[in-house]
């Protein structure tokens, strides 16, 4: 029984370690939001995480018919081992088009 479970469990854990996870946009104040992108243990994307998060934030504000205004960015530093995976966080505001 145990032998039958080992391969599926290892396969699932391996695949989940490769996934890119997006968290947000999460409200962080009036018209302020946070988006985070995190790679798994084996990064597979061809675009930098920060660029992906910035693009997602811009699209989110566009969906509200508002303009994107950057407040802050953060990328965690390596080495990317023991759970310290590549991660980028963007704090931004969605403002009226005229108040850019």
pTM exceeds cut of 0.95: no
Answer with the residue of higher pLDDT: 85 or 42: 85
CB neighbours (10 Å) of residue 73?
A: 14
With beta carbons less than 8 A apart as the criterion, state whether 69 and 93 touch. yes
Using only C-alpha atoms, the chain has a radius of gyration, in whole angstroms, of 17
Residues 47-75: pLDDT tens digits?
Answer: 688 999 999 999 999 999 999 999 999 98
Residues 18-56: pLDDT tens digits?
Answer: 556 877 899 999 999 999 998 876 555 556 889 999 999
Which of 2, 44, 5 lies closest to 21 in space, CA to CA?
A: 44
Domain residue ranges of the chain, discontinuous segments joined by +: 2-99
Task: Give residue 17's region: left, alpha or beta (phi > 0; psi -120 to 50).
Answer: alpha
Question: Which pLDDT belongs to residue 20?
Answer: 65
């Amino acid at each position: 029984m145990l032998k039958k479970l080992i391969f599926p469990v290892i396969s699932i854990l391996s695949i989940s370690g490769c996934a890119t996870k997006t968290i947000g946009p999460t409200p962080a104040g009036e018209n302020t939001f946070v988006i985070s992108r995190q790679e798994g243990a084996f990064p597979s994307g061809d675009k930098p995480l920060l660029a992906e998060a910035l693009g997602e934030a811009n699209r989110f504000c566009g969906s509200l018919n508002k303009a994107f205004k950057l407040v802050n960015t953060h990328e965690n530093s390596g080495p990317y081992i023991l759970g310290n995976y590549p991660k980028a966080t963007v704090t931004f505001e969605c403002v009226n088009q005229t108040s850019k």
